[in-house]
Amino acid sequence: MREVATLGHRLERPVLAVGLEGRAKRCFLLESDAEVKGATAEEHGKLCADRKRSTEKALRGEAPVAPAHELPEGGEIDLADLDGCPYYARVLGADVEGVSETLRARPASPAEFEKLCRDDNLCAYELSKRLLPKATVVVAPYAFFFHPHVRRSLFEWMRAEPSTIDLVVDEAHNLPEYLRELTTVSLPEESVRRARDEVAERGDFQLPNGPSATRFFDVVRAAVEELAHALVRGDDAVLPDGVFEDALLRALGGDNHRLDTWLGALATWGENLKEERRRDRRLPRSWVHTVAITLLSWPKLEPPRYAKVVTRLPRPALEAFALDASAAAAPILDCHLSVHMSSTLAPFDEYRDALGLGPRARSVDAPSGYPAENCRFLFDRSVSTDPDELREDPRAIARLADRIAKVVEVLPVQTAILFPSFELMRQVLEAGLQTQLPPNPFVEYARLPTSDLWRSAEGWKSEPASPVLLGVAGGRLAEGIDRPDDELGAVVLVGIPYPRPTAKRRALKQYLNRTLGRGTEYAVRAPAERAFRQAFGRLIRSANDRGLAIVLDRRAAAFADLLPGLEPIEDLPRVARQFYGRRARWVSRPPASIPTTSADLAPEDSEPAADPSATDEPRL
Ligand code: SF4
C-alpha cells in the first residue's frame, strides 16, 4: 500500500488499491467458531455461500427472519439461531462508492481496512470483493491467481479479462515450489485413520460385493504403513509402479474395476455426509470423501509429470509429487504482461524454465546499490557438512560445534547461525554447542507454529536477550527476519545449503535432466544459490548495514561467483576487529546452556515446518 501511495504521487492522481485475503482472516461471523478455524477455503466458502443466500432471501422477504442490521451489544452472535449473516447484510446496504473514495484518498493497510470494516460491522471479505471493479491495483496471495477456481472468481469480481491484466509476482523465487505443492496430491495416513473413524462413528457398512468400509480403510492404512516401513530409509522413497494398488487388491481381492466401484460408493457416502453437515450449518467435511476422491485420482497421476513416493517425514503419506510447475503457471501467459521480482530470483534461467515463461522473457538484474564493501565473505577450510564426511568421521559433528562456538566468540555483533537442516542443528547443539553459546539464544524450533515464531522473533528483535539466533537456511527465519539498521552484524552459514537429497528431489533432478538437460544445475545448485542469497541477504537491508558473511564449509569455494571477494578465514579475531572497529557490543559473554530440550528441536522433523494448522486440511 505504501508503493501504491508512491505510484499515486508520481501519477499525480489517487490510485485505488484493494487488498484481498482469504475468508479465514476476514470472516467476522465465523472467526470464533472452533470448527471453522481448521476449514479449507472451499469448506469455508460453502458455509459463507449458505449464509449469504439466506441473507438475500430474508431481505427479499422470502424467509421469516432477517438478520439484524445492528449487532447485539458486545458483538456476540448466537450462530445457532441465525440463518444469514449480519455483516453481509450490512455490505449489501453499504455505500461502496463512498468507501472506494476514502481508500483512493488514503490507501489502507490490511489492518486499517479490517478496522474500518469492524467499526462499521461490514464483512471485510465481501466488501473488498465489491471494491474490485473500481480498483486499479489488486493485491492478493498467490492462491487467488493460481488456484483455477479462485482465479475464475477473481476475474469475475474484477470484471476484467486476463489480457487486460499486468501481473506482478512478488517474492517470486517461491513460485515454482508453491505451484509444485499446489498440484501435488497427497494421501496422509492420518487422513485414512480419520476416514475410518468417521465411518465407525456413524455405523459401518458393506461396500458392493466387497469388504466393509472400516476394513477397506484398515487395509489402505496398513498398505501405507508397510510401504513406508519397507521402502523408506530417510524422508521418503520412490514407489515402484502399481505396488500400492497391488497391495490393496491382494488384501481385499477383486480387480481395479471393483476397486473403482468401492471408491465411488465411499465418495457418494462422503458427499452425503458433507451435505448433511452443511444442512446442520456445520463444516461440510468428510474424510471418507477426501480419501476416496484422492484414491480415484491416483491412477491418473502418472509420469512424466508426477513422481509417486511414499514419505515418512514430515508424516507418513503417499504422494503424487508434481514435477512440472509450468502447467499451473500457464495462466501467467494469458496476462497482458507479467513482472516477477525477488531479491533472490537468480538464477533467472532456472526460474524462467521452471515456469515455462519462454524465450521472450527478459531478465533485469537491478543491483541494490548498497556499497559492496559493506559485506565481506569468508569461508572456513577446516570443516564441512559433506554427508560422506559426517558419516565417516565420528568427530566431525563435535568439531563443527567447537568451530561455531569459536567463531561466535570473536564476533562482537548480533549473529545468525543457519544450518542446512533442523536435524544437523540438533546434532551440533547436542555435541557441545549448547553449552558454549551465550545465554538465551533465539532458536527456530521446527514445530513452532509460524504465527508464534514471528511473535517471538519480534520480541527478540525489540529486546534481544542474546546476540545469537539459530535457524535453518531456507527456513522461515532465514527467509523472513529483517534486522534493519545494522542490528544483525554477521551470518554464519554452517555447511552448503543444498536441498535435502530426498527421493522427490532426485525425481525432480531426473525430470529436469530429461526435459531440459539441466537436472543438477536446476534441482540442486539453483536452490543452494538462492539459500545463500537469502541467508546473506539478511545482513544488508539498507545502505547503512554492514556485516560478515561466513560459510563454515570448505566447499564454499565452488560458489565464489555468488560471494564477491570470498576469502578463507585466516585470523578471524583480527578480521572482526578491523571490520567492526569500535561498534563491538557483545564482547564478554559467559557461556551458558540453551533452555531447550532435544524434543523441542524435533529430531524427526528435519524440514522447515509448515504452519501445523495446515496439516488438518484434506488435500486434493
Ligand atoms: S459474508 Fe463475510 S462475515 Fe458473513 S459468513 Fe461470509 S465471509 Fe463470513
The pLDDT value given to residue 454: 75
* pLDDT tier, 246 (very low <50, low <70, confident <90, very high otherwise): very high
Residue 432: HSE in the Cβ half-sphere, 13 Å Cα cutoff: 12
The pLDDT value given to residue 594: 42
The pLDDT value given to residue 80: 52
pLDDT over threshold 90, residue 529: yes
Contacting residues for 98 by C-beta, under 8 A, at least 6 apart: none
* pLDDT tier, 458 (very low <50, low <70, confident <90, very high otherwise): confident
Ligand 1 centre from 184 Cα, in Å? 30
Quote the cell numbers at residue 466.
542474546
- The response to whether residue 351 sits with its C-beta less than 6 Å from ligand 1 reads no
Residue 553: φ, ψ to 5°? -170, 130
Least confident of 100-114, 197-211, 552-566, 578-592: 578-592
The pLDDT value given to residue 254: 80
* pLDDT tier, 602 (very low <50, low <70, confident <90, very high otherwise): very low
3-state secondary structure 234-268: CCEEECCCCHHHHHHHHHHCCCHHHHHHHHHHHHH
Q: Considering the chain, what percentage of its residues have pLDDT values greater than 70?
A: 88
The pLDDT value given to residue 618: 25
What is the largest distance, in Å, between two alpha-carbon atoms of the chain? 82
State how far the Cα of 482 lies from the Cα of 488, in Å rounded to an integer. 8
Average pLDDT over residues 176-190: 96
pLDDT in tens, 248-263: 999 998 888 999 999 9
Integer angstrom CA distances of residue 338 from 30, 78, 291, 421, 537: 36, 46, 37, 34, 25
- The response to whether residue 400 sits with its C-beta less than 6 Å from ligand 1 reads no
pTM: 0.86
Spell 584-608 as b/e; 16+ CB within 10 A means b. Answer: eebeeeeeeebeeeeeebbeebbbb
- Mean of pLDDT over the chain: 87
User: Do 123 and 52 contact (CB within 8 A), yes or no?
Assistant: no
The residue nearest atom 6 of ligand 1, judged by CA position, is 48
pLDDT in tens, 281-291: 889 999 999 99
State how far the Cα of 67 lies from the Cα of 55, in Å rounded to an integer. 7
- The response to whether residue 88 sits with its C-beta less than 6 Å from ligand 1 reads yes
Q: Which residues make beta-bridge pairs with 320? A: 185, 308
- Give 369's DSSP letter: -
The residue nearest atom 7 of ligand 1, judged by CA position, is 27
The pLDDT value given to residue 531: 92
Rg (CA), the chain: 27
Please indicate whether residue 384 or residue 582 has the higher confidence score (pLDDT): 384
The pLDDT value given to residue 607: 35
Burial-class residue 228 by CB neighbours within 10 Å (0-12, 13-18, 19+).
buried
51 CA: nearest ligand 1 atom: 5
State how far the Cα of 353 lies from the Cα of 361, in Å rounded to an integer. 10
The pLDDT value given to residue 538: 78
- The response to whether residue 39 sits with its C-beta less than 6 Å from ligand 1 reads no
CA 75 to chain centre: 33
* pLDDT tier, 73 (very low <50, low <70, confident <90, very high otherwise): low
Consecutive H or E run containing 26: helix 23-26
Ligand 1 centre from 88 Cα, in Å? 6
31 CA: nearest ligand 1 atom: 8
pLDDT over threshold 60, residue 512: yes
The pLDDT value given to residue 33: 85
Average pLDDT over residues 146-162: 96
* pLDDT tier, 613 (very low <50, low <70, confident <90, very high otherwise): very low
Report the 10 Å Cβ neighbour count for 302.
12
The pLDDT value given to residue 507: 97
Question: What type of residue is 306?
Answer: Y
Q: Considering the chain, what percentage of its residues have pLDDT values greater than 90?
A: 67
3-state secondary structure 113-145: HHHHHHHCCCCHHHHHHHHHHHCCEEECCHHHH
Ligand 1 centre from 77 Cα, in Å? 13
The pLDDT value given to residue 616: 28
Least confident of 1-5, 221-225, 304-308, 567-571: 1-5
Task: For the sheet with 236-238, list strands across it.
Answer: 185-188, 317-322, 306-311, 236-238
Q: Check the CA dihedral 46-49-55-56 and report its sign.
A: negative
